[in-house]
Structure 1
Amino acid sequence: MKKQDFTSRARLSAVIKSARDIMRKDAGLNGDLDRLPLLSWLLFLRAFDALEQEREITGEEPIIKPDYQWRAWADDETFTGEALLNFVNNSLVPYLRGLSSDESGDARNVLGQVFSGVQNRMLSGYLFRDLVNQIRKINFSSSDDIHTMAFLYESLLKEMRDAAGDSGEFYTPRPVIRFMVEQTFLKLGESILDPACGTGGFLVEAYAELSPQATGRIVQQRLIHDLRGIEKKPLPYLLCIMNLILHGIPSPNILNDNALRVMIEDASPDTQVHVIVTNPPFGGEEEASIAKGFPAGYQTPETAWLFLHAVIRKLKPGGRCAIVLPNSALFGEGIGAKIRKKLLTECDLHTIVRLPQGVFTPYTPIPANLLFFNKTGPTEQIWFYEVTPPEGRKGYAKTKPIRYEEFAECADWWGGKEREGRVSTARSWQVSIDDVVSSGYNLDINNPNALQNIDHRSPDELLGELIATEQEMLNLLTSLQRELGATDVSS
């Protein structure tokens, strides 16, 4: 690390720490679930003001009216107390919330969507002034500050994810994101969508992968336009916009809406995309009006199955997808089996990477899988690869998460874009489509090469796997009960 980088990181870390200390003093904020959103939209306005100043240099008209621009009120240190709080709550936020435009891609629409869910919970105008003064120390015209702030923001998001774990939010570890993006073999000129983008991890990684190849302003602008996301909840949407801006995407192409509704209502060829990389919510129940929008025979409240169905429709012919799914989505009868049949009939499900238990700790103990498929016609055979914890480890935990290096063997085995030279190993095996069909489209297929080692495994390890399996069965039965209940109501 360069000395200059270290100095910048230390300085900005001190700024953020001071900002968080100030927010802790305010009686209106309770925990990081209140503090980080406030910090995010203030950072957003600070960063957006830097973009506005760049526009002014080129003679472009500002997006935000002069009286509401960051520099007009934030740089006036005498503007504080009740007067500042009254301006922010009753003038600034309502003005930004009301911005909109009929033109697609207009920044006013982004601002209006970002601030539609914003509420200032700080009660002290004097503490608010102190907070604003800290954020003023960040120079968003400096590339060093922007890159360092992006790094710090990632660490704040991780804390936010941990704080949100109990509220049903599932976030994807960065090593999993990086591996999925790399094995999707992205290319410039392709439209890339994450329909459950959360705080934007997949889109940030895709941009990091492709940006070095995008030489020239026009190619960069096309790349930014091609990176698309949908996020239903206002808080992750705000965090996503800020995350993408800090990583060099000035006008994020993110829609604040229910992705299932968007993908089902508008599945025309013009709106289909080349690539989808996503970790959709699972274990939840979608509202009945959304499920009813799906074709007859595929209507279920289970979000994971609905997303899989919608993703298949959203892909262009020849498109490709990498998606996270829980074990419970890989087996069972009913609608789940129909959706798996649709997947295997319309797409080439060429690889399933089985993740060990604990990868998504602390959000859920349920094991998950990474499915990679191309919309190029029916599946003929499926390769499975089992990622296992390092020697001496039984799984992963919050304090000992999965590392990117643990995907290295799988990446070497992958065989590049054409998946050439794959062989069966202690961790990989191949299954024919005939075997899958005869089993009722069951994709929960254990490693046959590991069965011989079962006698050498500890009772604790076997008991842990049994508990996980029982949990999956309980989730499956609960989902089936919901389906039967929905059928009884509709009949």
Structure 2
Amino acid sequence: MAATTKREAEKSPGTSQSRLASLIKSARDTMRKDAGMNGDLDRLPQLSWLLFLKAFDGRVEQEGEALDPDGYRRAIEEPYRWEDWATVPDFSGDELKSFVNDKLIPHLAGLVGDDAEDPRNVISTIFKDVVNRMQSGTLLRDLVDIVNQIHFVSADDIHTMAFVYESILKEMRDVAGGSGEFYTPRPVNRFMVQQSFLELGESILDPASGTGGFLVQAYEALKGQVKTDTQRRRLHKDIRGIEKKPLPYLLGSMNLLLHGIDAPHIRRGSALLEMRNSNAADKVDVVLTNPPFGGEEEATVVKAFPDGFRTQETAWLFLYSILDQLKLGGRCAIVLPNGSLFAVGENSIGAKIKKKLMKDCNLHTVVRLPQGVFAPYTQIPSNILFFEKTGPTQEVWFYEVPLPEGRRGYTKTKPMRFEDFESCVDWWGGKQREGREVGEQAWVVPASDIIASGFNLDIANPHLGDDLKHRTPEELVDELVKTEMEILGLLKELRSGLESADE
């Protein structure tokens, strides 16, 4: 087996957006013919790991050799380089399938890097969980040939591929949403990053990084400030994630690679355990995240937390861990459901964690999101909490983002837009939050009132009133859903307390 020619990336034509979309469609049509592929949960990961190898070859390996012909050492060596097997037209059928299954994937999964910056560590982490699900070596050859027509020869090509890849991720999120995975809509990512006022040189972590939405937005917000190679390398290192599940890890690594980070700093593992076992050197300046909520953690994770703060509710454990993970002066933007804001008793775990939050940090803003922002995954009302580890909270500002005129909620076909945050951005008052005013959508509550309420942060907009005659049936149903979620939270707290008492 040998490559017929050595590809010259600089001579390859670019790939337009329409051409790329056509190739992706052809790739998915090819995979649909294969008996081993069962829906997009199989097809999209299959396409992603092939795209990863093609992009890595073009973005990292070939560029590295061009910049340092004598000193660059490839992360992937013969006969596993893309050009050694993927560009050989007659390497097909069972021979190709056996090579991929028995040699290529095991070799890539066994790579070991010399240091934390070595991209071989990223490759091996990805491919430890990769499985070639295609049963036909001939169709696999067809798929590889299609991927081979995608080129990464310029910044424009990378941008185009990243744009199309994000559309693939959106479809992937739609599929995963049905199995309990909720992903953050891009407008919410962008708003949270923008209102965090990131600065070059800050370490930025998403401990539930998923497909990399927050990390990509953070990188895009900061890369224009880079002036030197040293700053670029530092920025790549400062964009950090932790992801527990193999599929989001693969998709997130690919997403960062396509956006220009050659060796993504995403770790595979339990973020809760990693944050509990971290040291001072692991603390970060900024956390941007939408942690899982409504789930239950296993006993080994719960036991890693101190007495009095042990609960199976994932969102509470993430919030507690983030408080410890932030440096002094650090800040966080985090999505939490209404149930987490609701007061569940002065001695409940939720109240204790909110007490710690308001004692250690300045919880300066709670942005209440409209109905349906996370549709179709969940209708649970959600909020974004912004806080800084700069001392106790004195007052909390609330801002209720209004729905567009004539809308009762967001849906899958009519999702939220970034422009819908415009009124909140105008009100915000810049980095120093100057000139904020109480208004129809904004109100402020003294910390003393929140403490007296048992740390209830689920505070309704006082300007809207609660006249049932003027509320729509949809609003009444939403209120019932909210109440049921709060009751469910109380029951979970009660069960956690009983389980802790039995230990």
1:107-186 aligned within 5 A? 107-186=119-198
Percent identity (aligned): 57
Q: Is the 8 A contact 2:338 2:381 kept in 1?
A: yes
Deviations along 1:372-403, one digit per CA (max 9) or x if unpaired, are: 00000000000000012111111111111111
In the alignment, does 2:411 pair up with 1:397?
yes
- TM-score normalized by the length of structure 2: 0.94
Q: Are 1:56 and 2:79 counterparts?
A: no
Structure 2 letter corresponding to 1:151: F
Contact 1:366 1:471 in 2 (8 A): no
What corresponds to 2:100 in structure 1?
88
Which residues of 2 match residues 35-50 of structure 1 at below 5 A?
35-50=43-58
Tell me the secondary structure at the aligned position of residue 351 of structure 1: strand
Cα deviation for residue 53 of structure 1 reads: 1.6
Instruction: Answer with 384-393 or 408-417: which moved more.
Output: 384-393
**Distance in 2 between residues matched to 1:386 and 1:376, nearest whole Å:** 25
User: Aligned to 2:411, what secondary structure does the other structure show?
Assistant: coil
1:97 deviates by 0.7
Change beyond 3 A, Cα 1:211–1:453: farther
| SS of equivalent residue, structure 1 residue 477 | helix
Q: CA deviation at 1:104?
A: 1.5
| CA displacement 1:400-428 (0-9 Å, x = unmatched) | 11111110000000000110000100000
Pairwise CA distance, 1:470:
2.9
What's 1:291 paired with? 302
Please say if 1:315 is aligned against 2:323: no
**TM-fit CA distance, 1:468:** 2.0
Matches of residues 155-234 of structure 1 in structure 2 within 5 Å? Answer: 155-234=167-246
The Cα RMSD (Å) is 1.4
The residue correspondences of 1:418-457 to structure 2 (distance < 5 A) are 418-451=432-465, 455-457=469-471
Q: Does 1:99 align with 2:111?
A: yes
Mapped to 1, the partners of 2:38 and 2:87 lie a distance apart of 27
Runs of 4+ residues over 3 Å off in structure 1? 452-455
Shift in Å at residue 307 of structure 1?
A: 0.2
CA 1:139 to 1:285, structure 2 compared with 1: closer, same or farther past 3 Å?
same
Residue aligned with 2:295, SS: coil
Q: CA deviation at 1:220?
A: 1.1
Distance 2:14 2:105 in 1: 35
- Give a deviation string over 1:300-319, Cα, whole Å, max 9, x none: 11000000000000000000
Which secondary structure does the structure 1 equivalent of 2:331 belong to? strand
Over 3 Å counting, the alpha-carbon distance change for 1:102 and 1:293 in structure 2 is farther
The equivalent residue for 2:421 is 407
Contact 1:194–1:230 (CA<8 Å) still a contact in 2?
yes
Distance 1:410 1:142 in 2: 37
What's the offset of the Cα at 1:272? Answer: 0.5
Counterparts of 1:291 and 1:116 in 2: how far apart (Å)?
Answer: 27
The one of 322, 345, 360 aligned to 1:346: 360
Letter in 1 for 2:38: N
Q: Which residue in the other structure is 1:251 paired with?
A: 263
Q: What amino acid does structure 1 have at the position aligned with 2:135?
A: L
Q: Are 1:367 and 2:381 counterparts?
A: yes
Letter in 2 for 1:115: F
Could you report, residue by residue, the CA deviation over 1:264-303 in whole angstroms, capped at 9, with x for unpaired residues? 011x221100000000000000111011101111011100
Deviation for aligned residue 1:102? 4.8
CA distance in 1, matches of 2:183, 2:97: 34
Residue type matched to 1:416 in 2? Answer: G
Aligned to 1:72: 84
Mapped to 1, the partners of 2:83 and 2:484 lie a distance apart of: 54
1:154-199 CA-to-partner distances (Å, cap 9, x unmatched) read: 0000000000012111100000010000000000000000000000
1:465 offset after TM fit, Å? 2.4
Deviation at 1:485, TM superposition (A): 4.0
Counterpart for residue 473 of structure 1: 486
1:23 matched to 2:37: no
Deviation at 1:251, TM superposition (A): 1.0
Separation in structure 1 between the aligned mates of residue 364 and residue 165 of structure 2, nearest angstrom: 36
Alpha-carbon distance between aligned partners in 2 of 1:258 and 1:444, rounded to the nearest angstrom: 29
**Are 1:366 and 1:468, in contact at CA under 8 Å, matched by a contact in 2?**
yes
Letter of the 2:167 partner, please give it: S
Unaligned runs of 5+ in 1: none
Answer yes or no: is 1:336 the counterpart of 2:345: no
Give the corresponding residue for 1:300: 311
Whether the aligned pair in 2 keeps the contact of 1:283 and 1:475 (CA below 8 Å) is no
* Distance in 2 between residues matched to 1:461 and 1:86, nearest whole Å: 56
Q: Whole-Å Cα distance in 2 between the matches of residues 481 and 33 of structure 1? A: 37
Cα displacement (A) at 1:467: 2.5
